[in-house]
Amino acid sequence: MTAPLIGITIHANDAQHRAALDRLCAQAIQGVANAGGLPVLIPPGLDEPALHGLFERLDGLLFTGGGDIAPAYYGGSASSLVAGVDVDRDSAELALMRWALDSAKPFFGICRGLQILNVACGGSLYQDIGECKHAERHTFYPDFPFDMLAHPIEIVPDSQLAHIAGKATLQVNSLHHQACQVVAPGLRVVARARDGMVEAIEVTAHPFGLAVQWHPEALPDAPEMRALFRALVVATRERSCVQT
Ligand code: MN
């Protein structure tokens, strides 16, 4: 069986916290490869026809972590706490996400990838979790090991995520200073932290549209985290069986 081609979004060469993003991206590539997928990086800077041409060749997508999405995309003006904005990356990833949603192509989102999903569907973000007074700390970077288990999450029992993880709660790492505020219509929150912050969402009318706020690629020894990458690869295979 041919390995499914999984497109992975990446940050630009001049991204803030580049070294950390490089490391996480390398782990995401490894996560896809270990799950039986053939990882391919989606280069920054493609024009829209080329991006769409590449999209059509992919069997599935992985939206990775990175800098903040420009608040203009969800109707805000940027506060001083917004950092690492790359509007070219934003517009490319929002286009890829809309195409993935419209074509029912399987995708998995990590951290910023979850936020791209929510914004692409019309939702909004806390520009900084500190805007939310009852929030716990979620910013365990850059001075903490990325595999540090920072807080528990509670998973909605009848969700795809619960089925994949096989557990009702998980301890996860936490490398984000933003989070979903208004969750877009058509998305289902399937995991939250104790403070109520959204930690995972699924697309209701999609065969496999799942996104998590934590970084499973940085926890490669945990079976539940490996299972997330595996679920993406399996979803691409199920889709190609249906189509042929
Ligand atoms: Mn968190």
Residue type, 94: L
The tokens describing 20, both together, are 């950390």
Type of residue numbered 89 = R
pLDDT band per the 50, 70, 90 thresholds, residue 60: very high
pLDDT confidence of residue 244:
42
Q: Residue 76: pLDDT band by 50, 70, 90 thresholds?
A: confident
What's the mean pLDDT in 213-231?
A: 98
Q: How far is the CA of 88 from the centre of ligand 1 (A)?
A: 26
Q: Is the pLDDT of residue 242 over 80?
A: no
Q: What average pLDDT does range 207-215 have in this prediction?
A: 98
48 CA from centroid of ligand 1 (Å): 33
Return the active site residues: 111, 215, 217
Q: What is the pLDDT of residues 19-36, one digit of tens each?
A: 999 999 999 999 999 999
Enumerate the H helices of 74-203 as residue ranges: 87-103, 112-120, 160-165
At 173-210, the pLDDT tens digits run 999 999 999 999 999 999 999 999 999 999 999 999 99
81-123 pLDDT, tens digit each:
999 999 999 999 999 999 999 999 999 999 999 999 999 999 9
Nearest alpha-carbon partner for 28 in 52, 62, 73, 67: 62
Burial class (CB in 10 A: 0-12, 13-18, 19+), 48: exposed
Closest CA to 189 of 123, 234, 236: 123
Average pLDDT along the chain: 96
What band does 126 get if pLDDT is binned at 50, 70 and 90?
A: very high
Would you say 114 and 180 are in contact if contact means Cβ atoms under 8 Å apart? yes
What separation in angstroms does the CA of 38 have from each of 41, 168, 182, 229?
10, 30, 34, 12
Q: How far is the CA of 175 from the centre of ligand 1 (A)?
A: 7
CA of 23 to the centre of ligand 1 (A): 19
Q: Do residues 191 and 161 touch, judged by C-beta distance below 8 A?
A: yes
E-state strands within 88-197: 107-110, 125-126, 151-155, 169-172, 179-180, 187-193
CA 85 to chain centre: 16
Q: How far is ligand 1, taken at its centre, from the CA of residue 21, in Å?
A: 17
Distance from residue 199's CA to the centre of ligand 1 (Å): 6
Say what the pLDDT of residue 34 is.
Answer: 98
Output the CA angle 166-168-172, nearest 5 degrees.
Answer: 90
Contacts for 20 with CB less than 8 Å, ≥ 6 apart: 141, 142, 146
Whether 177 contacts 129, CB under 8 Å: yes
243 pLDDT above the threshold of 80: no
